[in-house]
Amino acid sequence: MKLATLTMLFISSLIFLMTACSSRLETPVIEDDLTIVYPSKKASGISAKITLYRKVEKKTGDLLGSGTIFTIREKANLRAVVDLENLYNNTYKDLMFHFDWIGPNGKSFYLKRVDLVHNDSTSMINSSISISPEQRQPGEYILRIYFFRELIAEKKFEILPKFKFNRSKEKGITAEITLYRKKSKKTGKLIGEGTVFKIKEKTKVRALVELENRFAYGDQELVFRYEWIGPDGLSFYGKQIDLFPGDSTSIIRSSISIPPEKREPGKYSLRVYLYDTLIAEKEFELLRNK
C-alpha cells in the first residue's frame, strides 16, 4: 500500500515538473488557416504556421492545392511547409524540429527530423508524404511539429478515397468544347470559331472547355486531360490540368500549333477526360492553305 502511494506521488511529481518545465501554454490557439498553435510563454518564443499543399507552380512559385482536404491519387504527394516565426531570436544555437505524420489509427507512420544550424538563414522547413493508393487509406490525419521534442503546432487534414467518376451521379460534370483560332485582345471575344482550319505558319488551334456542374464534386481534386488525336488515330499531344478544392474556375484551355512542317491535312479530334473517363470529344479538319 505504501509502495502504491509512493508510486502515485512520484508520477504526480513528474507530471508537475514536466508541466512546470514546459515553455508552452497548455491552451492552444486555432489560427484562421486551421493551424493549431501552442503559444510560447515568452514573446520571443518560436511559433509555427503549417501549410499543406499538393505542388508548386513552376512559373510563379505559388502553392497549388493548399487546404485540409486531399484526394488519393496515383504517384501523388502531399507536401507541408512550416513558416517559423521569431526564429532569429534563437540564432545563437542549433535548433531541432520534427515532423510527425499521424494516421487515422492515431499512430505515427513517418517521423522526419530537421536541424537548423545557428547560422542558417532559412525560416521555413519542409516535409512530404505519398498519397498514392498503395500507401494511404482514406481518413482523418494529423501533422504535428515539435521543437526540441516539444509540440508547438499541429494541423488536422482529411484524405478522401480515390476519385471514381459516376455518370449516373445527379448533375455530374459535363464538358462543352469550343475550337477557335485566337482571342481578341480588345474585346476578349473568340475569333475563328469552327471545326475547319487552314494549315499556316505561326497559327494555332485553340480549345476552350466549359465545365458544367464543375462543383458537383466540391471536395475532390479533379484531374482533366486533353488528348489531341491525329489522322492516324493516335495522340500526338496531351496536357493534364489539375483543379483543386477552392479553385473557382470552370473553364480549362489547351492549344496546338498547325504549321505545315508539323501538321498534315486530315481529320483530327480533341478528347477531354476526367481522370480516365472520356467526358467530351470534338472532331475538326485541317486543310492545306492554297
Cβ neighbors of 266 (< 8 A, separation 6 or more) are 230, 231, 285, 286
- Per the domain annotation, does 165 fall within a domain? no
- pLDDT tens digits for 102-141? 999 999 999 999 998 877 778 899 999 999 999 999 999 9
Least confident of 23-32, 49-58, 150-159: 23-32
Shared domain check, 154 and 202: no
Shared domain check, 263 and 139: no
- pLDDT tens digits for 228-269? 999 999 999 999 999 988 788 899 999 999 999 999 999 999
Give the pLDDT of residue 170.
53
| DSSP bridge partners of 98 | 113, 146
- Per the domain annotation, does 42 fall within a domain? yes
**The three grid cell numbers given for residue 27, joined into one nine-digit string:** 491552451
Give the pLDDT of residue 17.
40
- Per the domain annotation, does 183 fall within a domain? yes
Of the residues 160, 187, 207, the one at which a domain ends? 160
Shared domain check, 283 and 201: yes
Shared domain check, 40 and 156: yes
Tally the domains of the chain: 2
Shared domain check, 153 and 33: yes
Of the residues 137, 160, 183, the one at which a domain ends? 160
Shared domain check, 107 and 78: yes
Shared domain check, 150 and 49: yes
Give me the domain span that covers residue 257: 174-287
- Per the domain annotation, does 16 fall within a domain? no
Q: What is the CATH number of the domain that holds 94?
A: 2.60.40.1930
- pLDDT tens digits for 189-201? 999 999 999 999 9
Give the pLDDT of residue 213.
86
Shared domain check, 279 and 205: yes
Give the pLDDT of residue 21.
56
Q: What is the mean pLDDT of the chain?
A: 87
Shared domain check, 182 and 139: no
- Per the domain annotation, does 167 fall within a domain? no
Burial of 143 (0-12, 13-18, 19+ CB in 10 A): buried
Shared domain check, 155 and 31: yes
Distance between CA 238 and CA 272 in Å, rounded?
10
Distance between CA 231 and CA 235 in Å, rounded?
10
Question: Residue 244: what residue type?
Answer: F
Question: Is 140 within 8 Å of 101 (Cβ atoms)?
Answer: no
- Per the domain annotation, does 184 fall within a domain? yes
Give the pLDDT of residue 20.
44
Shared domain check, 69 and 186: no
- Cβ atoms < 10 Å from Cβ of 271: 17
Of the residues 135, 160, 185, the one at which a domain ends? 160
For residues 152-181, average pLDDT: 83
Cβ neighbors of 49 (< 8 A, separation 6 or more) are 31, 33, 35, 37, 82, 83, 85, 153
Give the pLDDT of residue 260.
93
Shared domain check, 224 and 153: no
